[in-house]
Amino acid sequence: MPRIGATPFAFPDFHGATRRLVVVNLVAYFVLYLATIAAPAATSQVAALLALVPSTFLHGAIWQPLTYSLIHIGLVRALFELLSLWFLAGFLEPFHGDGWVTGLYAASVLGTAVGAVALYVGGAAVGHPINQIPMFGCFGAIFGMLVAIGYLYGDVQFLMFFVIGIKARYLAIIYGLICFAMLFGQQQMYAFAQLGGALFGLIYVRSVPRRGFSFVFSERWYGLRNGYYRWKRRRAARKFEVYMRSQGRTVRFDGQGRQIDKDSDDKSRWN
């Protein structure tokens, strides 16, 4: 497990969930880029269909809350998102495992979509329609991971702009204040969606076990399996006791189905 302390400008380990998430987004970027070169008009239509537009989602495009995060437009933006994803996921994974990090990423992606749709529906309900903008990129997941680090490891120092050392909790707060200020501008849907991703990330951190649901489920499964085997052993022991009594012999077993040696006074070895 890595030491928690000041984080220098160095790339974290590239494996597990971190590698899968970065590679999947990187492949999606290059596929879209090459498709744009081959057929620009058709690719633009496909990208618009996969990006999240709340009105389109409400009219049946139910795949958009999952596909929008794979649409990356612009080299600089894609590079910033993927590097941020690498740094943040790479920091969390050694502490929590790949399943937990993947779950946090998915929860933040869905929370971002929920935030955008909720703002659109709420604005229409109160008579103030919100200006829709297509949502794309994994910005919400990045904010969710940043909030998770700020909540769990608030004293860890990061280098803001690769120069200024700042604690993780303050970095998350600053980013949140920027998003809050953007609510009063032209990109209020984008800002509210990011806050949704941060909120779902925080809920995930507070509600999901430290090592993820998969670890808890596996532990419970093994516990149920072992309990079943112990029950079978006790049942077999009872049957064997009945059989031995029918043969004129007495055999005793403890509560775990293990034979008790009547000639031995040392019973502690079964505990």
Mean pLDDT by 10 residues, the chain (271 residues): 47 88 95 90 88 92 93 90 92 89 94 94 88 90 94 84 78 90 87 94 84 55 69 76 75 70 50 43
2: Cα within 13 Å, side-chain hemisphere: 16
16-208: CATH, from 3.30.1490.20, 3.30.70.340, 3.90.330.10, 1.20.1540.10: 1.20.1540.10
Whole-number pLDDT of residue 244:
75
pLDDT tens-place string over residues 111-160: 999 999 999 999 889 888 888 889 999 999 999 999 999 999 988 887 76
Whole-number pLDDT of residue 2:
44
Distance CA 259, CA 207 (A): 44
Q: Tokens 């596996």 — which residue?
A: 218
CA nearest neighbour of 205 among 138, 145, 148 = 148
Whole-number pLDDT of residue 122:
92
What is 142-162 written as a DSSP string?
A: HHHHHHHHHHHSTT-EEEETT
The tokens describing 116, both together, are 């955008």
- Residues near 104 by beta carbon (within 8 Å), at least 6 away in sequence: 92, 141, 144, 145, 148, 201, 204, 205, 208
The domain spans of the chain are 16-208, 216-270
Distance CA 271, CA 250 (A): 22
Q: Tokens 């996921």 — which residue?
A: 89
Answer for the pair 91, 149: CB distance below 8 angstroms, yes or no. Answer: yes
- What SS3 string covers 55-78? HHHHCCCCCHHHHHHHCCCCHHHH
pLDDT tens-place string over residues 230-251: 777 777 777 777 777 777 777 7
Q: How far is CA 207 from the centre of its chain?
A: 12
What is 87-149 written as a DSSP string?
A: HHHHHHHHHH-HHHHHHHHHHHHHHHHHHHHHHHHHHHHTT-------B-SSHHHHHHHHHHH
Whole-number pLDDT of residue 1:
41
pTM value is 0.74
Distance CA 102, CA 69 (A): 14
